[in-house]
A and B are shown apart, each in its own frame.
Chain A
Amino acid sequence: MTKIYGEAETKVTALDNVSFSIKKGEFVLIVGSSGSGKSTLLNMIGLLDKPTQGKVLVDGFDTSNLTDNEISAFRNEKLGFVFQFSNLLADLTVLENVLLPSQIQLDSPTDDKAKEVLEKVGLSDQLFKRANKISGGQAQRAAIARGLVNNPTVVLADEPTGNLDSVTAKNIVELMKRMARDLGQTFIVVTHDRSQFGEVDRIITIKDGRAFEGEYQTEMEVVV
């Protein structure tokens, strides 16, 4: 997959011929320094942006020929998103936020599944609090619950701990790992701080738009 922004002199190659596959149930970290292209990669995988060349296959299904409506439906059914700033809708309660993906899918969803997931992420006592009235850690837990509520094929997390203190970040990492383990859920997590995540199934490093399997030895490490 290649992604190029701009044209001619302003051309920037954000992703350069990146290709890899991820197995079901894997917890994958995509690491790299700021501006390396890891968020761009996640946007491509999440069908939020289109690659200049190449395609994304999910469960063997080629997503490159989907219409805009089909992409929306695909994102809703097959993909879960966790963003850096949780991105909950501030005016809604925690429960309403978690219900949103299923509301888009169904005309009259029940809230049983949402409550179940919220219980798993430890927010069963915060259901009716407004999203702007809970802490950053709780908001990120709610965001994870929202990402899981439709039983997606893959959960994509973009710097999910980037806005949290170290203790809360550790809890969120533990939560995601536990969800992956308990639910057999595939997680693709983008982070610039690999150290927070400890042991994971797999690491892909992005450097200058290129992907490397495993942890890339940085120049500093070579010098040391």
Chain B
Amino acid sequence: MLVNKKGSLIGAVLAVSIGILVINVNSVIFQGIYDAIIRDMSDYRFGDIYVYDEERSTIQKSDIVLINWFERIPNVEAATPRLEGSATAETRIAGQEHEKFNVPVLGVDPISDIRTSTIHETVGEGQYVYARNSIVVGESVASDLGGCSQTGFFMSGGTDPTVTGDSGQDECQPVRVGDNVKLIITDQWGIDQKKRFIVTGISGTAGGQGFDRSVIIHIDTLRDMLDRSGESRSIMVRLQESVTPYEATQIKNQFLQAFPNDNLKAETIEESAESTLSGFRSGIAMINLIGYFGMMSSAFAILTIQMMLVNSKTKEIGIMRAIGARRKDILIIFIMQGMIIGTVGAGVGSAMGLGYTTYAKVTKMEFQGSLALEVNYNWQKIGETAFLAFILAVIASIYPSYRATKKQPVEAMRTV
């Protein structure tokens, strides 16, 4: 009766829906990227709990002791030691030095690493490290060792891609499985240790989140070359999927209590990611803020539309008042209208948002065509956003409704 302005109502509902959709799309994209980065950091580098020495560059305590401690806990899936270093990688063609530059080296225990990390799944060609002389080469390293450039990629100590990309085009031959690569590593005493490896696999990860710019070798080989027998840079721990962040923190604390005098520091993945992703999280907060500003704009749109409806229905309000409607009755009609706009808008917006989320999940949406977004249905956030939109729609309806009640019947009925 007082509210039958379909175009305006549809406009108001759309304003709410679009506000919600914007927040949902932002959430899918930016939260998806954030979660994807955390997922990859956890899968490739830090696990669910990451242990390292607070003072020294390596853990002195036997990795077997530490791993045994973790693996006796039912919530722990597996644990693995890792050691890091840097090397000069060298390739030769027909006895001539072809390429030579510095690369980061990761030492892994192939057996426990496969259980703890998914980095082995990034080997697209060949297989993971399985012997003392096997090496997995990151995709970028493989390319650079072959004298090929990659747009936008420049490795310290490597070749300038803008130069080799042009001049070395004919000689460009990325390193492949079966090729030989020589690593020169300076041990802890300053002596160069040289060793030739056979490339067993090429590793490539979406968005360069893995070890595309590194090489991976057996941890014992790296220990030997560094002369750091039994030492590890870190222990990476994988927990059962059902373990909550709170339980992870408890396990971490128990571990630190068990080894109080070893200068060990343990971090959950949230803590490990904190420094890396704090800026990103601020970005997400800013994007969300923009979304909420969008929702505020929707509220202003509702306010305007409701004011317009009140003005266009002045005569009807006068008639209703004349035949006995109380101010409260008029107020309720327009507040109810706001509630309907809020409910339908929140419903439609949430449905559209869920539709987009499902689309992103089903199509395995990627960021810049490489990093697969980690898409989850965050029901709490969806509910909160819908509820907020509903409340804003109702709040935006209060003033127009109040204005409607202030109209005097005689004057209102004179309105044409």
Taking A87-B319, A92-B1 as contacts, is the C-beta distance between A73 and B413 under 8 angstroms?
A: no
On chain A, the residues within 8 Å of B4 by CB distance are 91
Question: Beta-carbon contacts of A27-49 to B below 8 Å, as 1s and 0s?
Answer: 00000000000000001001011
**B413 A83 Cβ-Cβ under 8 A:** yes
Question: Beta-carbon contacts of B325-358 to A below 8 Å, as 1s and 0s?
Answer: 1111100000000000000000000000000000
Interface stretch, picked from A97-105, A169-177, A183-191, A210-218, is A97-105
Question: Beta-carbon contacts of A49-91 to B below 8 Å, as 1s and 0s?
Answer: 1000000000000000000110011011100010100010101
On chain B, the residues within 8 Å of A72 by CB distance are 321, 324-327, 329
The answer for the CA separation of A105 and B320 in the assembled complex, in Å, is 12
| Residue in B322, B324, B409 whose CB lies within 8 Å of A105 | B324
| B308 CB-CB contact with A under 8 Å | no
| B362 CB-CB contact with A under 8 Å | no
Q: A152 CB to closest chain B CB, in angstroms?
A: 10
On chain B, the residues within 8 Å of A81 by CB distance are 322-323
Q: Which residues of B are interface residues toward A (Cβ below 8 A)?
A: 1-2, 4, 315-316, 319-329, 408-410, 413
| Residue in A69, A89, A101 whose CB lies within 8 Å of B326 | A69
Give the number of residues in A that approach B within 8 Å (Cβ atoms). Answer: 23
**A89 B316 Cβ-Cβ under 8 A:** yes
**A87 B413 Cβ-Cβ under 8 A:** yes
On chain A, the residues within 8 Å of B327 by CB distance are 68-69, 72
- A102-121 residues with Cβ-Cβ distance < 8 A to B are 104-105
**A73 B410 Cβ-Cβ under 8 A:** no
**A48 B1 Cβ-Cβ under 8 A:** no
**A89 B323 Cβ-Cβ under 8 A:** no
Q: A69 CB to closest chain B CB, in angstroms?
A: 5
Q: A154 CB to closest chain B CB, in angstroms?
A: 14
The answer for the CA separation of A91 and B4 in the assembled complex, in Å, is 7
On chain B, the residues within 8 Å of A105 by CB distance are 324
On chain A, the residues within 8 Å of B316 by CB distance are 89
On chain B, the residues within 8 Å of A101 by CB distance are 323-324
**B324 A49 Cβ-Cβ under 8 A:** no
On chain B, the residues within 8 Å of A77 by CB distance are 324
**B322 A48 Cβ-Cβ under 8 A:** yes
Q: B273 CB to closest chain A CB, in angstroms?
A: 58
The answer for the CA separation of A72 and B1 in the assembled complex, in Å, is 19
